[in-house]
Structure 1
Amino acid sequence: MQTTTLIGRTEALAVVHATVARAVAGSGGLLLFLGEAGVGKSRLLGEVARLAQERGMRVLEGRAAESGGAYRPLAEALLRGGAEDLDRAAVRPPYRAALGRLLPGWTTGGGEAPEPGVDPALVLGEAVVHLLRALVDGPCLLVLDDLHWADADTLALLGYLAGRLGDSRVLVAAAARDDEPNADALDRLAAGPGVRATPLTRLAPAELATLVRARTREPLDDDVLAALVARADGLPLLAEELLVEVLRSPPAAGAPPPVPRTVAALARRRLALLEPVAQQCLRVAAVAGTEPDWAVLPAAVGQPEAVVLAAARAAVGASLLREDAGRLRWRHALLREAVVADLVPPERAALARRAGEALLARGREEDAARAAGLLAAGGERERAAGLFLRLARRDRTTGALRHAGQLLDRATGVGADPAAVAVERVPLLTAAGRVGEALEAGVAALPSAAGDLHAELCLQLARAAVTARRWQEAEAYVERSGRPDDARSAVLVADAAFGAGDVDRAGALAATALARAERSGGPAVLCEALDVVGRVARLSDPGQARAAFSRAVQVAAEHRLVPQQVTGLIGLGTAELLVDETSEALPRARELALAAGLLGQAGAAEVILFDAVAVTRGPRAVEERARALLARAARLNLPEVHAASAFGVALARAAAGDPAGTEAALAQLPRSAAWPDAGPLEAAVRALPPLLAHDLAAANATLDAGLTVVVGHRAAAPLHQFGLWALLRTAVDDRGEAAREVLRGLPAALRPANRGALHYADAIAAGRQGRAGEAADLLARGDADLAGLSWLHRLLHLVVLDAAVTDGWGDPVPLLRADLAEHERAGDQQPARTCRALLARAGAPTRRGRGDSPVPGALRAAGVTSREMDVLALVSTGATNAQVAARLHLSPRTVETHVANLLAKLGVPDRGRLRERVAALTR
């Protein structure tokens, strides 16, 4: 036969040409061909590949197979494209670790397990994007066939890629039957963003006739052609296979053509051309799976390898098999299915059982799922159920969560114990962020659970309840487990008590949990216990908290428990921040998490660092990093990181005086009972503009309404706005004493930012009561607490110094002048305006100065203006009044006035001492 261009696919070919052209130009995506078996999907994929190569695209090809495991077609394409030989440094660390779930050679040995609540398919999808950029220098085409056999994780990953590749030169071209059991999943993929779904229908009789004529050099008899077209029924694949029959055995003149009525008859006819032993080899190969495994067939058939290979050779001659990319495959899946369908049930079961046993005997983990399916088909249901459960557990721990769910469904289908399935399904759904479904699945299975299975299921339910913040349910499930001496029980109860805010009880329970974990819990449970101990201690004793978290980090590092090590470092970092507002552990946590591909934990460390930067340099300093993290969290569906990043952007926009930008960022905060922090964070953002405008009453009303719901919760995060809340309530005389007492009893008061604000609030109260000396002392103590937090220090200073000016205590003028210089240097116009207004009220009005020289902070605090700085710079060089006047276009008398003002402000008797004083102040 000869090959020609495609017949009857004008519209589909137009889509192919347009899609490839867009990909070459930088707009990729997913082109998906859907249709029944034999309609020509694979032929169109070949046309896409041919056209892509003509346009200079690198082509990588992979194929899904029945029971092929998670990500099989994509892994094959990347491996054949040279991914294993790529320098690992070419891919960024977080995605390098994730690729270990797809490509065995990329395994890092510690970070491949998924994070709870983080969809590993999305993370892996982003990793594939980075890998393709490193692997292919230019436009690229991924050809993936037989996606009707693909697992759910592969389809989810492709859905992510389709939307992600819109601004890249990478195109995925795929094909799948639309009449298979996973048709719903394929429909969801087809409807996703970035997907161009192209359904293929059967050809018209005239088109089929044209196709047949194009495939042969010799003209066919009209009657033979008509019969062939009629039997093919619009399927081009069947027409071509029937043509093979006609060409192999031309019909006698006047005799009807040897055209079988069905594909099954076609397969039987070709199988009959083989010797009996070869027929048996092909039947076992057909039952064993969609791709013949020639290495395992000798054991399954019970024949020497030479006999099996001879059978394979004969099957090629009989047009049952063909060579494809170096492998011997069925000419079409329909032929393989026809061979299987022609077996009687007992024969099919016996052959499946033998093939399954042969696969298990080979001892390869990648064969286990296929072997389990074959054993189930052969009647070995209990063994199959055990294999499916074990494989589901493996896939859960390596991040193939959807495939793990499919395996659990298969275990259920072969009669696995519902409780055993639930023990695996509850942590699976919890890890996937579907905690409500996890609890429902576990509760449904509890009545059938007994003994150790019952206890294990209860503990899994307790962990899911903790994740869902259902504290009472968590404790009830622990009690129902009947395992009070299990270290996990103690850890879960302590965690639930802490989450509920019962800190004293949580402390006692945490100590018990730690003691049990040290005796018999294992390193992972010990790390969990130390984490609870650290979180409880952080509320009253940061030193003890640091010790607990440090030990957790050490234990995790010794046992290569990377997620637990990162968790410990984050806890250690928060304890460090409580002491001096700086942390060495948090950057370590972020880098370790990124290296291990734990993007959720990396984001958590980053957002905690945002707050430390904001109080030092101001909210605008975190905006660029917050936006980058927000984009990553949105792509990868990291809800808590997304929310915290949106808060950082909103705070930055509020500080910049951008109401529209502020509202756009606030709109991305989650509004659900599962995330109660949205209200307080929104209040913190909305209070900032009136605070910067020094409208203290409005700032207090906004902040108080949002923070009141969480300010009394002892386990709440120590936001720096807690101190501001007490300070504003005191400044505007709105239940200030009560607010200060509440804050004094909170762990948040340990933080320097909040402790300094509390000292300022106490200073205001003391000043109002006429205790001026005490007020000044409290102001100085607050200054010491806030000394390293430049932006927050200046912001809170405006509130307390307003009270000092109003109530007449302390010496606010030098402090206001120094702050004014810093506000102007930082470009903070509203606080600078407030400083000038307060100086004017204090009887020390300041002119902004009409000079060109910047004024150092120490000189600004003394009241030196920019014009006086111009004069000072020239006087310091020894210039006379006349020379200074000539340079600055001033009169000598004006210069003399400026010099006299400088001498008075800096407290020196003459020009000689003036230079010494300036040098000392600016050293």
Structure 2
Amino acid sequence: MLCSVESRSISPVFVGRAEESSTLLAALARAATGEPQVLVVGGEAGVGKTRLLEEFLAAACEQDATVAVGGCLELGAEGLPFAPFATALRTLHRKLGDEMTAAAAGREAELARLLPELGSAGRDVHDQEGRARLFELTVRLLERLAGERTIVLALEDLHWADRSTRELLGYLVRSVQSARLVVLATYRSDDVHRRHPLRPFLAELDRLRSVQRIELPRLVEDEVRAQLAGIRGVPEPDHGLVQEIFERSEGNPFFVEELALSGGDGRLSESLRDLLLVRIEELPETAQRVVRVAARTTTVEHTLLAAVSGLGEDELIEGLRAAVGANVLVPAAPDEDGDGYRFRHALLREAVIDDLLPGERTRLSRRYAEALEADPGLVRPEERVTRLASYWYYARDAAKALPAVVQAIEETRERHAYAEELKLLERAMELWDEVDEATRLALPHMGSLESYPPCGCGPEKSHPEFLDLLAEAAAAARVDGMREQGLSFVKKALKLIDPAKDPKRAAWFWMERSRLTAGSGRGNGWAELAEALKLVEDQPPSPVQADVLSNAANWLVLHGWDDRTVEMTERAVEVAREVGALEVELNARVTLATMRAERNEEDGWLAELFETREQAGRIGAPRLLMRIHASVTDQLEKYGRSAEAVEAGREGIDELRRRGLYDAAAFLAGNVAESLITLGQWPQADEVIQEWSRYAGGSRARAAMVKNAATLALLRGQHEESRRLLTTARAHMGKNDGEPQYELPLIFSEIACAAAHGETAEAAAMLRRGFEMLPLPGQAPYVAQFLLAGAEFLADAAGLPGVAAQEHAALLDRLAKEADRLTQKQVRRPAMVLHIQAELARARGADDPALWARTAAGLEPYAFAYQRARVRHRWAAALLAAGGDGARDQAAELLTAAHSAAEDLTAEPLRAEIERLAGRARIALGGDGGETPADAVESLGLTAREQDVLRLVAAGRSNRQIAEELFISPKTASVHVSNMMAKLGVAGRGEAAAVAHKLRLFERAEPV
């Protein structure tokens, strides 16, 4: 039920809770692995506990979690026992039905004490054993239900909880074991006084390591500004209003909402309203009349005020002079044309409006509408349509309001004001049934498939239908980032359409559903596109047919394509040209250009993209503009032209931001951050990630941004942070896990992260998961990056515990087979294929300096600082292992350059590996000026006994086995293991083994 219910909060944006949301999402991700999570969220009344809970539960629903919510009742100490658990279990029973009945089988009589729907409760036994049995059965029931799915159990208002509820919750927290369960409880901290019964319970929970406490602070001023921006539907609210509301609310989100409503569309509190009305009531009667008329609009033109008020010129001037003198009204500023008046403060205006009788408001709105309709020149042309629509709407004249609203929709769409368009569309749908057929037939045409969004999907007509309103609303919601709302519009439309009678219209809505499904992370969108394709495949050429073909081809390009995809795209271009659907044609041409780029057809593809971008800008196609900008940056990055990708990406961000497309700009910012990482400009990448993460609305944009942050953390050696971020990125992906450009980079980052933690078995499992996606025709760049990460892991993992020799060989053979499919032309990134071959040789124990030399030569013309340093390090290692004349001097030169680059980048893992290799080879790195250690073991400060222990840990021995082999006690062996790990700076035995392996500490070969 929760998954289909919208938030009760008036704020359409969720602000100021990024850290808390990340904590909750990370807990959800951990729970999905079978690790139960318990979180307790506290905060004062109105600070946003419920909103945080609603946002988290919505995210959990998107990830297919089963959500059950129970609230404690404000009934005091004698309240209904177990009320929140009973409510939550009832929800689970309703959702899971027979599955819950089966899980409770044989224990129905006991569990019926909590959930009567399960049967008749047993006899009333008042003993501790019976209570403990009830608690235990409840925990086991939840564990069984959460064995195959993630369950989120939310208990609200714990400050009202009865004792039995607290005790059952405490038992659940202490007892639940392996289960995909999240328990989330909220309480109001300002109600928990010193003697409140919840206080000792919270103290008890604090002693449990499994419980996470979250205290919600008040919002800071910037967060209040963002909240107000969302409430008012503007990019940047008035600075003075932000400061005032911040000071009065003290950062409490509920108070911000109340004050925002007081200064917006809601009602003022009685005390505040009365206070503001005192100033109005002291004015002369004529001035009060003028003020009441002026309150209908934010700034009223003098001529419009005269027409509506009905006063003579002298009376009007007299009333205005009094109102201005009392600081109620002020003349409009010169930049507002200087020919009008506005209220001194918005709160004054809202107080006046709130004091009007309902009939007065309606009559006043009608008078404004009639005056403006009679003389459109009373207001500026760009405001006339929108204001007229508003006046007629509040005049409650549907026959007049609907045509005006439809016309206003067209104007707001043309101005790319999608949030405002969506509000108008909802208003039009509200008015639809209030007008007769003749009024609908007389409505102006709203648009066509040649414009955005494609409406008029059915037979040719000169007026909109209700389904056109739904089509407009779905598309506007998607572009504005309101994807769940968009899906609700689409689902409603599909229930109204008969696909046999109107296949084109049905196909359009299935296509839109595909976009919204993918954008919200509910799936990859192909099933919906397939439905659309079936509906149009035998139809005559139409804009919808061209659009469906174009979108299906683009989907295939992103997931794996072949020559048939090219034919489909060319067909889309042909149909679009035939029916005059320019935007669809441009979209298909972008797909063709992308495939030309994938085939490495020189720069013709780039010229094509630039041409389509220019045309898209001329026709005002924001969705297409976003795609073209993203394609340009993506393809430039794949070609190794990262600096050009950054430049093009920043230009695109500026353009999209100017058009108000912040979500689209955030998506593009993810591409820019990726290229900055490639270039070694990591601080700049940090800035882009920090600036644009908050605007990333779609699941793909959020996942890509977090994945970039995880990459930086991994390269810097912040392994725990990298793991946390990768978990978050995976959570953002939701069901949208089939697209190679997102899935493969996430997998190879997870491989590197697991390997960095010494978790070779886990890394090998991730490598196998990536192999399951192959082959992927047309996705060579992503495949190559994945294979490179896999080859590097296998080279490092050879001989380590966690990957048996036979499994290692099998993985190596599979990787080599996949690498043989690749060509440099397909991969495009310079030296990528050579790099993979060099790592494969290293993994086979036949490190080849010549391969590394060729790889380094291929990278030399490019400013890929980290990649060049990494290759130089590997090249030096291969030279030192091979020996020969001049090998040592050449290796020293390579290591010095690589070390300098690693230090500049703050690439700590790479820097440490270089220093260890230099230490083994007794090479002084340029600039360190000190004596090099005799060998790596000595440099780490390990005693002889600790060296023995490390050797055995690297061989996979347990503490007991180490003790037996070294003739010491297990306790002493444990002490030596702990000391050795501390000196190595590692957190686990796997990491210690990895360090020993990388340093080749125990090889029997002659020292270099």
Q: Residues 626-641 of structure 1: matches in 2 within 5 Å?
A: 626-638=685-697, 640=700
Instruction: Compute the displacement of 1:425 (Å).
Output: 0.5
Higher relative contact order (CA 8 A, sep 6+): 1
Q: Can you list the C-alpha shifts for 1:670-689, whole angstroms capped at 9, x where unaligned?
A: 51425537775555445547
> Residue type of the partner of 2:838?
Y
Mapping for residues 583-602 of structure 1, pairs under 5 Å: 583-594=643-654, 597=657
* TM alignment of 1:112-511, pairs within 5 A: 154=232, 188=257, 201-202=270-271, 235-236=274-275, 285=293, 293-296=301-304, 308-313=312-317, 324-326=329-331, 351=367, 354-355=370-371, 357-358=373-374, 360=376, 364-376=381-393, 381-415=398-432, 417-448=465-496, 455=504, 458-459=507-508, 461-467=510-516, 468=518, 469-477=524-532, 479-480=534-535, 484-486=541-543, 487-511=546-570
Distance 1:521 1:741, change over 3 A: farther
2: distance between equivalents of 1:577 and 1:317? 64
**Whole-angstrom CA distance in 1 between matches of 2:565 and 2:364:** 60
Contact 2:714–2:722 (CA under 8 A) maintained in structure 1: yes
- Partner Cα separation in structure 2 for residue 172 and residue 782 of structure 1: 60
Residue in 1 aligned with 2:781? 718
User: Which residue of 914, 924, 934 corresponds with 1:848?
Assistant: 924
Q: From 589, 595, 606, give the equivalent of 1:536.
A: 595
Q: Which residue of 2 aligns with 1:822?
A: 897
The two structures have a TM-score, normalised by structure 2, of 0.50
Structure 1 distance, partners of 2:367, 2:580, is: 46
Task: Give the distance between the partners of 1:792 and 1:744, measured in 2 at CA.
Answer: 22
Aligned 8 A contact 1:385 1:414 in 2: yes
Deviation (angstroms), 1:424: 1.6
The 1:477–1:171 alpha-carbon spacing in structure 2 relative to 1, beyond 3 Å, is same
Per the TM alignment, residue 431 of structure 1 is displaced from its structure 2 partner at its CA by: 0.8
For residues 821 and 884 of structure 2, what CA distance do their matches in structure 1 show? Answer: 28
Q: Per-residue CA shift, 1:583-616, capped at 9, x if unaligned? A: 5354133134325526555555554455455456
Q: What residue number does 2:205 align with?
A: none
Aligned in 2, Cα 1:503/1:384: closer, same or farther, shift over 3 Å? farther
* Mean CA deviation greater in 565-574 or 485-494: 565-574
CA change 1:613–1:711 in 2 (3 A) is: farther
Q: Which amino acid aligns with 2:329?
A: D
Query: In 2, are the aligned partners of 1:569 and 1:585 still within 8 Å (CA)?
Result: no
Shift in Å, 1:422: 0.5
**Aligned-partner Cα distance in 2 for 1:236–1:838:** 77
Measure, in 2, the Cα distance between the counterparts of 1:446 and 1:388: 24
Would the aligned equivalents of 2:393 and 2:401 in 1 still touch at CA under 8 Å? yes
For 1:751, what is the secondary structure of its paired residue?
Answer: coil
| Structure 2 residue 813 is matched with structure 1 residue 737 | yes
| Equivalent in 685, 695, 701 of residue 764 of structure 2 | 701
2:835 alignment counterpart: 757
Q: What CA deviation, in whole Å up to 9, does each residue of 1:22-59 have, x standing for no partner?
A: xxxxxxxxxx9xxxxxxxxxxxxxxxxxxxxxxxxxxx
The residue type equivalent to 1:785 in the other structure is G
- One-letter code of the match for 1:485? S
TM-score by length of 1: 0.54
Relative to structure 1, the CA distance from residue 243 to residue 779 in structure 2 (aligned partners, 3 Å threshold; closer, same or farther) is closer
User: Against the structure 1 CA distance between its residues 412 and 522, is the aligned structure 2 distance closer, same or farther, given a 3 Å change threshold?
Assistant: closer
1:782 aligned to 2:846?
no
CA displacement, residues 815-842 of structure 1 (integer Å, 9 cap, x when unaligned)? 544432223333477657756877899x
- Asked whether the equivalents of residues 924 and 930 of structure 2 are also in contact (C-alpha less than 8 Å), the reply is no
Structure 1 residue runs of 5 or longer lacking an equivalent are: 1-31, 33-139, 145-149, 177-183, 204-233, 249-269, 856-923
The question of whether the paired residues in 1 share the 8 Å contact of 2:549 and 2:572 is answered with yes
The alpha-carbon distance between structure 1 residues 397 and 243, as it changes in their structure 2 partners (threshold 3 A), is closer
Confirm or deny: 8 A CA contact 1:350 1:378 kept in the other structure: yes
- Partner deviation per Cα, 1:247-278 (whole Å, 9 max, x = no partner): x9xxxxxxxxxxxxxxxxxxxxx58x99xxxx
| Equivalence map 1:618-633=2 (5 Å) | 621-622=681-682, 624-633=683-692
Looking at structure 1, the residues matched to 884 and 667 of structure 2 have their Cα atoms a distance apart, in angstroms, of: 43
Task: After superposition, give the CA deviation of every residue in 1:464-502 in whole Å (9 maximum; x if it has no partner).
Answer: 513523122124235546664323233223223334434
CA contact (8 A) 2:781 2:829 kept: yes
CA shift at 1:292, angstroms?
5.8
- For the residues of structure 2 that align with 1:450 and 1:310, how far apart are their CA atoms? 63
Shift of 1:632: 1.2
Partner of 1:792: 867
* Residues 426, 439 of structure 1: 8 Å contact kept: yes
CA-CA distance at 1:410 after TM superposition: 2.0
Aligned identity (percent) is 14
TM-fit CA distance, 1:554: 4.9
Describe the shift of the 1:434–1:356 C-alpha distance in structure 2 as closer, same or farther (beyond 3 A): same
* Aligned-partner Cα distance in 1 for 2:629–2:361: 62
Other-structure match for 1:549: 609
**Residues 540/151 of structure 1: CA separation in 2 closer, same or farther (3 Å cut):** closer
Structure 1 residue 710 displacement after superposition: 5.1
Q: Note the alpha carbon deviations across 1:114-148, whole angstroms, 9 max, x for none.
A: xxxxxxxxxxxxxxxxxxxxxxxxxx99x99xxxx
CA displacement at 1:325 relative to structure 2:
0.8
How far off its partner does 1:846 sit? 3.2
Could you list the per-position Cα deviations for residues 338-380 of structure 1 after superposition, in whole angstroms to 9, with x for gaps in the alignment?
Answer: 77656799x8897576335226575733132332344456675
1:282-316 CA distances to partner (integer Å, 9 max, x unpaired)? 99x58976876541366668x8xxx6424425656
What is the distance in 2 between the residues matched to 1:668 and 1:738?
30
Across the aligned residues of Structure 1 and Structure 2, the Cα RMSD in angstroms comes to: 5.5
Choose which of 704, 710, 714 in structure 2 pairs with 1:654: 714
> Which structure has the larger Rg over C-alpha atoms?
1
Residues 806 and 153 of structure 1: is their aligned pair in 2 closer, same or farther, counting only changes over 3 Å? same
2:670–2:689: 8 Å Cα contact kept in structure 1?
no
For the 8 Å contact 1:549–1:568, the answer to whether it is kept is yes
- Residue identity opposite 2:405 in structure 1: F
- The answer (yes or no) to whether the contact 1:501–1:715 under 8 Å persists in 2 is yes
Whether the 8 Å CA contact 1:593–1:602 is kept in 2: the answer is yes
Preserved CA contact (<8 Å) 1:646 1:666: yes
Change (3 A) 1:504 1:765: farther
Task: Please state how far the C-alpha of 1:795 moved relative to its aligned partner.
Answer: 2.7
* Structure-2 change in CA distance of 1:566 and 1:584 (3 Å): farther
Residues 863-893 of structure 1: per-residue CA shift (max 9 Å, x gap): xxxxxxxxxxxxxxxxxxxxxxxxxxxxxxx
- Could you tell me which amino acid in structure 2 is paired with residue 647 of structure 1? K
- 1:514 is aligned, of 552, 573, 577, to 573
Structure 1 distance, partners of 2:885, 2:835, is 17
Query: For residues 885 and 605 of structure 2, what CA distance do their matches in structure 1 show?
Result: 38
Conserved 8 A contact 2:573-2:585: yes
Superposition deviation, residue 736 in structure 1: 1.7
How far apart, CA to CA, are the structure 2 residues paired with 1:236 and 1:582?
A: 61
